[in-house]
Structure 1
Amino acid sequence: MNDLQEPVDEWVVEMEGRLENPDIFLRASNIEEYPSIFGNWQRWDDFGASFIPKTNKWQLVACMTHWFGLNLKSYYEYMQGKVDRAWSHYHGVDEQFHTAENSKRFIEHLLVSSCFLVLGMVYVTNNEGYREVIMDEIANQTSFPITYTDFRNLFNFLQDITKIRLYMITMNYQIPWFVLEAVCTELSNIGNLLHIPIHKFALTCLPKMPRMHPSKEDDGTVPKGGFKHLLHIFHWSRTLNGKYTPNRANKVMAHFHIPSVTELQLSQTVFVKDEGDSIDVCYSDNRRVSGVMQLAPLHLWKYSTQLYESLLIFEDRCLLIFERPFTAYVACMACFLKTELDVRVLRENGVIPSTSLDDKDVLHFVQKLKTFVSGKFYMPEELAFLEKNVMAHHKKSVNRLIGEFKKRYCSDTWIIISVIAGILLFVLTFIQTIYGTLSYYKQ
């Protein structure tokens, strides 16, 4: 347990001594000279180093107190009772490190980090209405207009917006969501200005990735126990409920195996793009002679590696019974894609949409992600049934016979035309032979 002895009033006085009125920065003639606040200053696993950022980063707190009424005294009182809960979000931090002095610095670190994320979200949100509400409030508090460009230059948000959004959900940069939520709703007027749950505002600020599940935004539900951090919100918004939960009755996920794409084609399995809105893999063999594999598209961008790795690490580190759809999806894709020809087949079927990566790069990307599929997870029921059904279909002799025929004679348009022409020629020759034979007997 932590024993924060320092009186709240003394801490507030100390903090206020670090703050300057942010209006002077808005009126500065050359704001670009101020160093950028964006960087590796809120690492998940680096709390042995200095918690308190450089002086200019306290400008963030100044803006929150001057513009949005952030109450420092209320914040410190709030965190005094929840600092142990905040520590619990960080893996590998020994309890002996939870001294009063370290906890005080930790509280200050979370304050600056929360203010950075709030103002960063205002900058990168894709909802201009939310941004305009915030900008109008700033203008009211500063007594003169402020433009989006002024806002960007004030905080040196000169990085690419996509990159900032990505950093917001990178595992090493997460802070407890309950702290950020309190700063936005209980301790300032941000929540009152937006008139929406703050996690819905956060969803407008996170990286673009298809397959968002719309009902999760509309029905007002949140995960049991609340969100852990921004990455948890991103993960929750793009996965299905009630699927891919590990089951101890099954073998471990690392032992999951199904044939590759080209191998499955030999047993009459076809691949189609899933038109759903969440990460998912579905299989059915309701056709008489073929299996159908529906795959969520594997979207690849220049930031895909960091994005997928963060999602996989999150699923790996979660200490609760938790759905692991991304881990299951990657386990499937790693089985499917063993050669460049496998990649090419999924490209042709729309499962791998247009990307700058060539087949070799896609193969390398998927196999690298496979290293995050931990052997300690048990397979979900969905993967166990998938493996059982796919292998049962694949081992049937009739399916392999038909698949081999299609591969040999129906894999190319000209081959198909040649086969049809050969069959027609054979039929015509056969008919001609019969007529010749009949005419001979008539004579």
Structure 2
Amino acid sequence: MPMEDHKLLYLQNFLQHNQNYRLEDYIQRVKAWEDDARNCYDKQIGLNSDQFAERMLLDGIFVIQLFLMCRYHQRRLPNDRIFNKPWLLNDVGHDMTLLENQMPFFVIQRLFKMAFGAHQQHMPELLELVYQFFEPVTGMEKLPELAMELEVKHFLHVISLSLLPSERKEQNENHKEMKFAPSAMELVAAGSKCLLDIEFENGVLNIPYLALYDSMEYYFRNIIAFEQCYCKNRYLTNYVAFMDCLVDTPGDAELQINKDIIENWLSNKEAVAQLLNALGKEIELSRDHHFYSLSDKLIKHCQRPHNKWKAMFKRDYCSSLWVVILVITTGVLLLLTVAQTVCSVLSLT
């Protein structure tokens, strides 16, 4: 509620800069979209037609102005309460990613087109502005291609698309039993050398780089909630469940931090394990073929005794250059001793 007056200031500023349409024109246009907009919500919204249109318009213009002011500093209001307080801008960004706070993206997109459609060539696409606004907190490297191909539902949907694997895997419903991956320490004990793009080939597990900070749980939980409620392919949910298996203890977390897989912005390694374990708690897994087959490969790898023996040998006898030299020297001396013994036996015969 304290933000409502500020939204009105943004609306006034928006109308001053975009005089092709009056306020009444925008309201009438939003009213024409009312049925489609209401159908985007699970529950009935207790607002009459006028109130609903005003709410859609006020919130829609607010986020458009927010995106534009983020990109073009000259658009900002004098003594702007949001941009003059970085913590408040961060809070607004958090609120805009809550699943329960999403508004239909098509409403914002149509308002944006009304205002800038005639000179769109001089204005970035709305999705570009969305990407730029959320990039600092989500770490999106680029605007997801799928966001331009699919019908985007809302901001959280755009963020979730940025987390999809480069090659989307289809679910395989034939698997009846969900297999859970071994922990990172178990994998190392079985000889997995590197934990860096979730692929497992020739005893090497590759995992994409992950930065963990305080607000990560906030974003992940909302995307997981979105996937659990509305998505058939639950990529982030399965990824979090997989990472939860890998990081079972603080020792697993420390291993991944030391391997530069996890960049830890939390207090300590215990906090990393706690965060991933908390995210993976009580989530419903889908039978994603990629993660199922990956877990199956890891389990079979750990169950082979020779992998553990080989890993133990490397750990105990190949941990440093001097140890390797010592092992080689010992092996050469042993061979020479055997050869000398054989030669002595042969000379006696």
CA gap 1:242/1:74 in 2 versus in 1, 3 angstroms: farther
Separation (CA, whole Å) in 2 of partners of 1:240 and 1:191: 36
Separation (CA, whole Å) in 2 of partners of 1:215 and 1:123: 22
Deviations 1:197-253 (A, max 9, x none): 211222111132446356729xx9321xx111112122223423652454433348x
Aligned equivalent of 2:299, options 382, 385, 391 = 391
Residue 149 of structure 2 is matched in structure 1 by 222
SS of 1:175's equivalent in the other structure is coil
SS of 2:262's equivalent in the other structure is coil
Separation (CA, whole Å) in 2 of partners of 1:214 and 1:175: 20
Checking the alignment, whether the CA contact within 8 Å between 2:266 and 2:272 is kept in structure 1 is: no
Checking the alignment, whether the CA contact within 8 Å between 1:36 and 1:157 is kept in structure 2 is: no
1:189 corresponds to 2:112:
no
Checking the alignment, whether the CA contact within 8 Å between 1:165 and 1:207 is kept in structure 2 is: no
CA gap 1:61/1:316 in 2 versus in 1, 3 angstroms: same
**RMSD over aligned Cα, in angstroms?**
3.3
CA positional deviation for 1:391: 2.1
Checking the alignment, whether the CA contact within 8 Å between 1:311 and 1:326 is kept in structure 2 is: yes
Aligned equivalent of 1:265, options 169, 173, 188 = 188
CA positional deviation for 1:432: 6.5
CA positional deviation for 1:267: 1.9
Deviations 1:360-405 (A, max 9, x none): 000011011112632xx42111112212222222222322321233
Q: Which structure shows the bigger proportion of residues in helix conformation? A: 2
Residue 363 of structure 1 is matched in structure 2 by 273
Residue 88 of structure 1 is matched in structure 2 by 39
How many pairs were matched up?
341
SS of 1:299's equivalent in the other structure is strand
TM-score by length of 1: 0.67
Aligned equivalent of 1:177, options 84, 105, 115 = 105
CA gap 1:433/1:306 in 2 versus in 1, 3 angstroms: closer
Residue 344 of structure 1 is matched in structure 2 by 254
What letter is aligned with 1:417?
A: W
Where does the alignment leave 5 or more consecutive residues of structure 1 unmatched? Answer: 1-34, 38-52, 126-130, 139-147, 275-280, 286-290
Separation (CA, whole Å) in 2 of partners of 1:372 and 1:83: 36
Where does the alignment leave 5 or more consecutive residues of structure 2 unmatched? Answer: none
What letter is aligned with 2:25?
A: S
Separation (CA, whole Å) in 2 of partners of 1:433 and 1:200: 72
Separation (CA, whole Å) in 2 of partners of 1:71 and 1:256: 59
Aligned equivalent of 2:201, options 280, 284, 294 = 284
Aligned equivalent of 2:243, options 326, 329, 333 = 333
SS of 2:211's equivalent in the other structure is coil
CA gap 1:192/1:238 in 2 versus in 1, 3 angstroms: farther
SS of 2:210's equivalent in the other structure is coil
Residue 25 of structure 2 is matched in structure 1 by 74
CA gap 1:246/1:163 in 2 versus in 1, 3 angstroms: farther
SS of 2:149's equivalent in the other structure is coil
CA gap 1:434/1:234 in 2 versus in 1, 3 angstroms: closer
Checking the alignment, whether the CA contact within 8 Å between 1:246 and 1:379 is kept in structure 2 is: yes
CA gap 1:163/1:245 in 2 versus in 1, 3 angstroms: farther
Residue 217 of structure 2 is matched in structure 1 by 305
CA gap 1:256/1:357 in 2 versus in 1, 3 angstroms: farther
Checking the alignment, whether the CA contact within 8 Å between 2:56 and 2:107 is kept in structure 1 is: yes
SS of 1:221's equivalent in the other structure is helix
Separation (CA, whole Å) in 1 of partners of 2:337 and 2:209: 53
- Percent identical across equivalent pairs? 18
Residue 329 of structure 2 is matched in structure 1 by 424
Residue 315 of structure 1 is matched in structure 2 by 227
CA gap 1:301/1:124 in 2 versus in 1, 3 angstroms: farther
Separation (CA, whole Å) in 2 of partners of 1:430 and 1:268: 28
**Farther off after superposition, 353-362 or 65-74:** 65-74
CA gap 1:404/1:154 in 2 versus in 1, 3 angstroms: closer
What letter is aligned with 2:133?
A: C
